[in-house]
A = this chain, B = another copy of it.
Amino acid sequence: MDSVESFPALRLTQEDGSEISAAVAREFPLTIILNDQELVTLLCSPADLRYLAAGFLASEGFLDSKDEIRKITVDDRRGVVRLETTEDKGLAADALLKRVISSGCGRGASFYNAADAASQKVDSQMEISVDEVFALVNKFQHGSKLYLATHGVHSAALCDRKNILVFNEDIGRHNAIDKIFGKCLLEDIPTASRIIITSGRITSEVLHKVAKRGIPIIISISESTNLGVRIADTLGITLVASVRGKKMNIYTGSWRIAHDGKAEKRLQ
């Protein structure tokens, strides 16, 4: 299904008016059924549903590796992904139930606490230069055809120091990141010592997703919340936010960015 739908719209300015065809991001309900148990319905962009389901299940702790998957069936007309695992994780499903009850517009506090306890400190020695960050973000911002068409989606990318390796986009900023990690899981793409770039704000939930994959550096075009900064600090993750117009704010782990010595010199 196309991720865009066009509608007739009246485009008005103070002086003028015209009828246009406006491209709008499609909002699609996807139900994920794990071992015959209906887990969740996500509102998402209707592309790469297999990646989204696998990534969501991995982020939520239902799936650790591709080997645990017996079968995935995608019904992209009805909006259902069925996933069967080699072991039944009924207990984990109860945990999701508990977590999702304590969630509203974002995910809830009990999720945050549980995940916080589970996340290990990232100890990668990876470094990247300031110029490499700007070059990656520039590539990233030109990557989203769906954003350029609709201005209504978020993007995310997995990168090494020079290149965008996996790119995806979704109406939900969490979904875009889950699609990245779902593809990595299903196609055996390593995530440790790599970089995540996101167009969306960095919140506690995003930090936990990224920490679970061993990612040492997260870069956002937007801002971070205070919990984003605190969790990045606790888990040893480098958090770069507000990357716009050749400026960036480094909140935590700046040694991974300033490795070329230039920044330290400037600050002396």
With both beta carbons as reference points, the residue of chain B lying nearest to A175 in the complex is identified as B105
Q: Are B13 and A223 in contact (CB under 8 A)?
A: no
Closest to A26 in B: B226
Choose from B10, B17, B222 the contact partner of A152 (Cβ within 8 Å). Answer: B222
A152 with B224: CB separation less than 8 A: yes
A9–B105 touching, CB < 8 Å = no
Binds B, one of A36-44, A156-164, A187-195, A211-219: A36-44
Q: Which residue on B lies nearest to A24, using beta carbons?
A: B226
A152 and B249 alpha carbons, distance in the complex (Å): 14
Q: Cβ of A120 < 8 Å from any Cβ of B?
A: no
Let me know if A242 is at the binding interface, CB within 8 A: yes
8 Å CB contact of A223 from B14, B19, B25, B43: B25
In the bound assembly, the distance between CA atoms of A267 and B12 in angstroms comes to: 10
The size of the chain A interface, using a CB distance under 8 A, is: 78
Q: Is the CB of B9 within 8 A of A43?
A: no
Quick one: which of A73-119 are within 8 Å of B by CB?
A: 79, 97, 100-110, 112
The answer to whether A225 and B171 touch (CB under 8 A), given A11-B247, A22-B249, A100-B100, is yes
**For the complex, what is the distance from the CA of A27 to the CA of B105, rounded to whole Å?**
12
Please, what's the 1-or-0 string for A162-204, where 1 marks a CB less than 8 Å from any CB in chain B?
0000000001111100000000000000000000000001011
Contact B247 A12 (CB under 8 A): yes
Residue numbers in B under 8 Å from A11 (CB-CB): 247-250
**Could you give, for residues 117-134 of chain A, a 1 whenever the CB lies within 8 Å of some chain B CB and a 0 otherwise?**
000000000000011001
**A225 to B13, Cβ gap below 8 A?**
no
Q: Return the contact of A56 from the options B56, B104, B151, B203 (Cβ within 8 A).
A: B104
Which residue from B17, B29, B225, B254 sits with its C-beta under 8 Å from A10? B254
Nearest B residue to A265, CB-CB: B17
